[in-house]
């Protein structure tokens, strides 16, 4: 009996949650009670601090309960609980290794709670728990702390970017990495930064700087973490964004429907309004202009230095302790940096020499890295020896077909980026493999051939050149590429815009009844008309005209227009010096095409212009696709930019799979299992083949709906239908007539439900 009584007493007496609830409702009345409990907490803390290791559960109330209680109501009594956060911080930082796990988690949770109540700021919180994260041996605590740090950073960046906090934390992470380069603690910095990058909370150069430091650390894990970030961080970010935008998870119409059907409750209406606002917010967010996020590789400050340090520290250095896999990661990063930023690290290419043998493990990755690191500013003579080596080692009659095809692929990828690295004897040799019996090798050789038809047809034998290249060579349209020659950049599709503008102008003139070509005297009014036109565009583009609008800088255009003919001829001479004079008449159309458009240099393009440009570009792309489908027509722009994989972006890496590419064709007959596996890839997730009606029925029964009357009739027991069938024979003439009448009526109407 006494035992039971005591249990009840315990419950009533030490009911902290009850007190907490009452304090929440009326803080001033319960000041004394809170003060008492705060003394209680202080004394328990004193008991704990006297012997932190041998802390026992004291009686009914434990320190844990008291901490929980005080942290929940601390915001009501800031004066009394002034020192509370600092005490928690002290306990955690001093004793986190010896605290019992539950108390430890409670302290962390309480600190986060205090942060949520704005009693401590984020900086204090993070500066307390981050050192614990890096130093605690407990895995549970680490996961907890990591989650808390991440969620705190997310919440403090949710409304607007909290630059101050971000900068502080970034500095902490940076110092963690640079402070002790050999320790594996830096891994936490890498993990945190990567996660924040993925969530697009940190997208600035400082973040990239942290990862750069990770890349040049001494600890293998940290190095790999940093390198992996550069290789895959951006893709991860994009995927995450797609994922998060995909899963709405809220079906407003469904909720609305349910609210309409079910009993009206406050809760349901609240849920509906919540869902609607959430969807609206999401919609709004989707319609917002896409934030311009640069990839990590582009935000890198001093890529040359970074690439050099990575190369010399991890790859060239014989003392480097990285294994092959890790080295390959570093190699991929360095080669991407070199290719992307067009860096010059000369010793980098000779580094490959010893790895370019078919026996080298994961040699395709080496080949891909080599190809990736080549760009137009690499001296061809360095590459020449490498290509020679690849050709000798990989491409021979004796080598296996897969080896030969991947060698050829690698050579092609290198030559795409630097066509000058090839000499004609080798090229002619390699092209001979197009007659190979093996399909993979044949395709690879044809790829190389196709490439050189475009970029250096004169190096091929005459019969290999093909019709177009041969014609081009004879007409002199194709000129020899020169090392270091960079074509002037231009806005893609600008010629289309210019053409379109010209057509518009002509159309207008025709409408007015003027001749198509304009004379000098008409230039003035023409321009004015154009200006009006321009104003109209502006209004369409939703830009306020009062704030100055677009300034028309066209004072000298008139002159330009007047002597367009002359200018054209001058330009012709300048561009095509090596063209012989006899071909001049034939050339005329070509030269107008190659002349760089001066639209962008003479006019300021309005947003409307850019919109039109976008439209035209899309149109051109579509028409190009259509043409390709019908019959192959050589397009002049496709000629200038040779691409192996039709639309490779500069930022996309070249992978080993692409080098292997056609090697899969070279493999012998595939086994049955492989065939089945390949088939399985195309399988849909449909369980079995069933008629549409059967599937519909299944769906209905899954949803808990009943069958239709028709179905019921069909399933009716045979014996039950017998009576009616018997009746049919016994019908009187009148009855039969009635039935037949109804039947013929129904036929006229067009079925039971009518045909109206």
Residue ranges that bind another protein, judged by CB under 8 A: 2-3, 6, 9-10, 12-16, 19, 22, 30-33, 35-37, 39-40, 42-44, 46-47, 49-51, 54, 56, 58-61, 715, 717-718
Interior CA angle at 533 toward 527 and 534, to 5°? Answer: 90
Nearer to another protein, 15 or 100 (CB): 15
Nearer to another protein, 15 or 492 (CB): 15
Pair 463, 477: CB distance under 8 Å:
no
CB proximity list for 428: less than 8 A, separation 6 or greater: 459, 460, 461, 464
Pair 80, 54: CB distance under 8 Å:
no
148: left (phi over 0), alpha (psi -120 to 50) or beta: alpha
Query: In the bound complex, what is the minimum distance in angstroms from residue 50's beta carbon to another protein?
Result: 7
* Among the listed residues 441, 328, 463, the one whose alpha carbon sits nearest the alpha carbon of residue 394: 441
* Among the listed residues 179, 96, 175, the one whose alpha carbon sits nearest the alpha carbon of residue 142: 96
Nearer to another protein, 56 or 555 (CB): 56
Nearer to another protein, 37 or 436 (CB): 37
Backbone Cα Rg of the chain: 38
Query: In the bound complex, what is the minimum distance in angstroms from residue 109's beta carbon to another protein?
Result: 22
Pair 222, 321: CB distance under 8 Å:
no
Nearer to another protein, 8 or 398 (CB): 8
Query: In the bound complex, what is the minimum distance in angstroms from residue 46's beta carbon to another protein?
Result: 4
Nearer to another protein, 46 or 685 (CB): 46
- Let me know if 745 is exposed, middle or buried by CB neighbors in 10 A (0-12, 13-18, 19+): exposed
Task: Give the residue ranges of DSSP H helices in 216-362.
Answer: 220-246, 252-261, 266-287, 296-299, 303-310, 324-341, 347-351
Nearer to another protein, 118 or 717 (CB): 717
Nearer to another protein, 14 or 665 (CB): 14
Nearer to another protein, 30 or 534 (CB): 30
Query: In the bound complex, what is the minimum distance in angstroms from residue 755's beta carbon to another protein?
Result: 33
Pair 456, 471: CB distance under 8 Å:
no
Nearer to another protein, 12 or 734 (CB): 12
- Let me know if 541 is exposed, middle or buried by CB neighbors in 10 A (0-12, 13-18, 19+): middle
Pair 658, 439: CB distance under 8 Å:
no
Q: Write the DSSP symbol of residue 582.
A: G
Query: In the bound complex, what is the minimum distance in angstroms from residue 183's beta carbon to another protein?
Result: 30
Taking the C-alpha atoms of residue 414 and residue 372, their distance in angstroms, rounded to an integer, is: 8
Structure tokens at 261: 């059907």
Query: In the bound complex, what is the minimum distance in angstroms from residue 86's beta carbon to another protein?
Result: 12
Pair 403, 358: CB distance under 8 Å:
yes
Query: In the bound complex, what is the minimum distance in angstroms from residue 17's beta carbon to another protein?
Result: 11
SS (H, E, C) 692-731: HHHHHHHHHHHCCCCCCHHHHHHHCCHHHHHHHHHHHHCC
Pair 339, 375: CB distance under 8 Å:
yes
Nearer to another protein, 143 or 708 (CB): 708
- Tell me the backbone φ, ψ of residue 492, rounded to 5 degrees: -65, 130
Nearer to another protein, 61 or 382 (CB): 61
Element (H, E) at 534: helix 523-540
């Amino acid at each position: 009996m006494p035992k039971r009584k005591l249990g009840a007493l315990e419950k009533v007496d030490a009911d902290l949650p009850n007190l907490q609830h009452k304090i929440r409702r009326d803080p001033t009345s319960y000041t004394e009670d809170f003060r008492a409990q705060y003394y209680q907490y202080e004394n328990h803390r004193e008991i704990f601090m006297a012997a932190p290791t041998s802390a026992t559960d004291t009686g009914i109330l434990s320190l844990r309960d008291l901490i929980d209680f005080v942290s929940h109501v601390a915001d009501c009594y800031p004066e009394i609980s002034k020192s509370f956060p600092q005490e928690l911080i002290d306990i955690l930082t001093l004793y986190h290794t010896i605290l019992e796990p539950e108390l430890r988690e409670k302290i962390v949770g309480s600190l986060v709670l205090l942060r949520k109540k704005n009693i401590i700021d984020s900086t204090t919180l993070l500066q307390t728990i981050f050192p614990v994260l890096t130093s605690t041996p407990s895995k549970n605590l680490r996961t907890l702390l990591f989650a808390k740090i991440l969620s705190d950073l997310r919440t403090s960046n949710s409304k607007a970017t909290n630059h101050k906090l971000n900068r502080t934390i970034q500095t902490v992470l940076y110092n963690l990495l640079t402070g002790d380069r050999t320790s594996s603690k830096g891994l936490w910095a890498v993990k945190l930064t990567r996660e924040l990058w993925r969530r697009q909370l940190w997208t600035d150069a400082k973040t990239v700087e942290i990862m750069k430091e990770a890349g040049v650390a001494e600890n293998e894990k940290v190095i790999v973490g940093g390198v992996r970030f550069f290789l895959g961080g951006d893709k991860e970010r994009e995927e995450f964004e797609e994922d998060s935008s995909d899963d709405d998870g809220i079906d407003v119409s469904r909720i609305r429907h349910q609210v309409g059907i079910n009993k009206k409750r406050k809760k349901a209406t609240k849920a509906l309004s919540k869902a609607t606002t959430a969807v609206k917010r999401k919609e709004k967010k989707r319609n917002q202009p896409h934030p311009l996020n640069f990839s990590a590789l582009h935000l890198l400050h001093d890529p040359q230095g970074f690439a050099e340090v990575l190369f010399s520290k991890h790859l060239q250095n014989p003392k480097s302790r990285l294994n092959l896999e890790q080295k390959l990661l570093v190699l991929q990063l360095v080669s991407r940096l070199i290719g992307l930023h067009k860096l010059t690290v000369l010793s980098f290419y000779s580094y490959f020499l010893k790895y370019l043998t078919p026996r080298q493990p994961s040699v395709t990755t080496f080949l891909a890295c080599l190809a990736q690191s080549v760009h137009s500013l690499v001296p061809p003579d360095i590459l020449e020896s490498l290509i020679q080596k690849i050709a000798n080692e990989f491409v021979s009659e004796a080598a296996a077909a897969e080896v030969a095809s991947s060698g050829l692929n690698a050579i092609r990828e290198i030559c795409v980026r630097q066509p000058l690295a090839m000499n004609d004897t080798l090229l002619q040799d390699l092209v001979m493999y197009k007659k190979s019996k093996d399909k993979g090798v044949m395709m690879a050789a044809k790829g190389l051939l196709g490439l050189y038809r475009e970029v250096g047809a004169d190096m091929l034998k005459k019969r290999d050149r093909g019709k177009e290249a041969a014609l081009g060579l004879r007409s002199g349209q194709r000129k020899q590429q020169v090392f270091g020659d960079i074509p002037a950049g231009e806005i893609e599709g600008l010629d289309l815009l210019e053409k379109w503008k010209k057509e518009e102008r002509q159309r207008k003139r025709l409408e007015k009844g003027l001749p198509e070509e304009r004379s000098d005297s008409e230039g003035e009014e023409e321009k004015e008309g154009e200006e009006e036109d321009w104003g109209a565009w502006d209004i369409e583009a939703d830009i306020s005209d009062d704030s100055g609008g677009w300034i028309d800088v066209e004072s000298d255009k008139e002159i330009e227009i007047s002597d367009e003919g002359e200018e054209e001829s001058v330009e012709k001479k300048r561009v095509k010096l090596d063209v012989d004079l006899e071909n001049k008449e034939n050339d005329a159309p070509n030269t107008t095409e190659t002349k760089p458009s001066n639209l962008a240099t003479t006019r300021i393009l309005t947003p409307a212009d850019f919109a039109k440009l976008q439209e035209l570009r899309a149109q051109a792309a579509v028409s190009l696709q259509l043409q390709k489908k019908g019959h192959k027509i050589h397009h002049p722009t496709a000629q200038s930019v040779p691409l192996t994989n039709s639309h490779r972006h500069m930022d996309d890496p070249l992978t080993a799979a692409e080098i292997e590419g056609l090697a899969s064709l070279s493999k012998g007959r595939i086994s049955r299992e492989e065939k089945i596996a390949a088939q399985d890839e195309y399988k849909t997730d449909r369980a079995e083949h069933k008629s549409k009606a059967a599937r519909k029925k299944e769906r209905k029964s899954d949803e808990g709906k009943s069958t239709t009357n028709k179905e019921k009739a069909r399933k009716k027991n045979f014996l039950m239908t017998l009576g009616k069938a018997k009746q049919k024979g016994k019908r009187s003439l009148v009855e039969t007539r009635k039935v037949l009448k109804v039947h013929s009526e129904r036929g006229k109407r067009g079925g039971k439900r009518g045909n109206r």
